[in-house]
Amino acid sequence: MTYKSKFGFGCMRLPVTDTNDPTTIDQDLFNEMVDIYMEKGFNYFDTSYAYHNGMSEVAIRKAVVERYPRESFLICDKMPTWALTSEEDNDKFVNEMLERLGINYFDVFFIHNINVPWLKLAKEAKSFEYIKKMKDNGIAKKIGFSFHDNSKLLKEVLEEYADILDVVQLELNYLDWEDPSIESRKCYELCAEYGLDVYVMEPLKGGVIVNLPDSIKNDFEEFNPDKSIASMAIRFCASLENVKVVLSGMSKMEDLIDNCDTYENFEVLNTEENEFLERMASKLRQNVAVPCSECGYCIKACPEMIPIPEYFNLYNTSKNQPQSNIYRLYYDKLGEEKVPADECTYCETCLDHCTQKIDIPDMLEKVCEHFEEGFSPYAGAP
Ligand code: SF4
Ligand code: SF4
């Protein structure tokens, strides 16, 4: 295992031609990115049934499967746990995924995003037993689950299933390492204790770690003007011994080039750099208004279909640029084009689904207050 082999191409945020439509993947640009990635000796692609509303798998088929020999690349896909209603659904989704990708086996297969409500669905559909059979039959070479929750739930799942699994895909980054709700460090150590490899998702926490307030950007610039902020965050993850893959979602060519450079010239994070990132993590915690990673799971859960991450993104950006009024206009536009934030009924359905353990209705109230003084989404709620 070399550090270079840890660089995984995350296909959840591919380049699109219309930012309002996730299905409009820019196939030409993606093909070009894939060619550079493969030419430089990288080979791991991570997708799911849900990414880009199913089009991520199709784009990988076109860019990778139809253009490269099967043995030259690895593909990881994930069962849509939230959509499981019966044991038969396992087969139905897996066959659909194989067809979309144009392959007849997965190198890695995960049950997607185990949390409290979806663990229940996976158990009812016997999905852990199903993926074990996939491995026995050669349909999946390695199996596991992806996970954003805390160490208590992880221990519970590992107690029951670790002996049939190979990998856990964890949210892990320097900001979440000691975060009391995400507990990256504790979760990483638990996987090691149970003998499972760790694959990392969200090394940049959905962009929270790179879209920094100017004061923190300056700290990075002063610490090392030659290294990008993203490269420090990626090296934090890839330097960990039990981490075998670190996914990077790349929607721009320059992100790919920067990441290739990080892995081609990989340096394990030293003590001074680790201490610097620890300091930046505590500074960042005080500066980020909402630590939303824009994973989108809350939207699937919200009966009102409120575009929650878009509101949180606007709020964070507006807080970082208090002198600009433009975000108020964006806020109004978002409400007109999609669903207004004030349609939150405080039903709390989203709470168990939030990968970052954000009190979403409470935070939406703050967003509304920020942009629209005097409004409360709690009005009329029980
Ligand atoms: S609490 Fe608000 S945001 Fe959350 S699911 Fe209910 S309506 Fe949607
Ligand atoms: S609010 Fe939570 S679930 Fe929704 S996009 Fe942000 S991090 Fe993900």
Q: pLDDT per position in the chain (382 positions), as tens?
A: 678 899 999 999 999 999 889 999 999 999 999 999 999 999 999 999 999 999 999 999 999 999 999 999 999 999 999 999 999 999 999 999 999 999 999 999 999 999 999 999 999 999 999 999 999 999 999 999 999 989 999 999 999 999 999 999 999 999 999 988 789 999 999 999 999 999 999 999 888 888 888 889 999 999 999 999 999 999 999 999 999 999 999 999 999 999 999 999 999 999 999 999 999 999 988 888 898 988 899 998 999 999 999 999 999 888 877 777 788 888 998 999 999 999 999 999 999 899 889 999 999 999 999 998 744 444 434 3
For CA atoms 210, 213, 219, 225, give the dihedral sign.
positive
Rounded to the nearest whole angstrom, what is the distance from the C-alpha of residue 197 to the centroid of ligand 2? Answer: 26
Ligand (nearest to CA of 361): 1
Residue 297 alpha carbon, nearest atom of ligand 2 = 3
Based on the domain organization, do 265 and 215 belong to the same domain? Answer: yes
Domain containing residue 190: CATH number: 3.20.20.100
Structural domain contains residue 378 = no
Structural domain contains residue 222 = yes
Q: Give the separation between CA 125 and CA 85, rounded to whole angstroms.
A: 7
Based on the domain organization, do 143 and 64 belong to the same domain? Answer: yes
Give the single-character DSSP code of 63.
Answer: I
Tally of structural domains, the chain: 2
Rounded to the nearest whole angstrom, what is the distance from the C-alpha of residue 351 to the centroid of ligand 2? Answer: 9
Based on the domain organization, do 68 and 164 belong to the same domain? Answer: yes
Structural domain contains residue 291 = no
At 379 the pLDDT is 40
Based on the domain organization, do 23 and 52 belong to the same domain? Answer: yes
Nearest Cα residue to atom 6 of ligand 2:
292
Based on the domain organization, do 96 and 180 belong to the same domain? Answer: yes
At 374 the pLDDT is 40
Q: Which residues have C-beta within 8 Å of that of residue 251, sequence separation ≥ 6?
A: 13, 14, 15, 16
Based on the domain organization, do 225 and 282 belong to the same domain? Answer: yes
Based on the domain organization, do 162 and 305 belong to the same domain? Answer: no
Mark which of 265, 286, 307 sits at the end of a domain.
286
Range of the domain at 256: 4-286
Structural domain contains residue 118 = yes
Query: Are 153 and 120 contacting, i.e. CB atoms less than 8 angstroms apart?
Result: no
Mark which of 286, 313, 340 sits at the end of a domain.
286
Residue 351 alpha carbon, nearest atom of ligand 1 = 4
Based on the domain organization, do 304 and 282 belong to the same domain? Answer: no
pTM of the prediction? 0.87
Query: Are 377 and 368 contacting, i.e. CB atoms less than 8 angstroms apart?
Result: yes
Based on the domain organization, do 18 and 83 belong to the same domain? Answer: yes
Structural domain contains residue 197 = yes
Structural domain contains residue 145 = yes
CA distances for 130 relative to 79, 88, 124, 140, 351, angstroms:
11, 10, 11, 11, 28
Based on the domain organization, do 213 and 362 belong to the same domain? Answer: no
Based on the domain organization, do 190 and 274 belong to the same domain? Answer: yes
Mark which of 217, 251, 286 sits at the end of a domain.
286
Structural domain contains residue 292 = no
Based on the domain organization, do 135 and 49 belong to the same domain? Answer: yes
Q: Give the separation between CA 144 and CA 108, rounded to whole angstroms.
A: 8
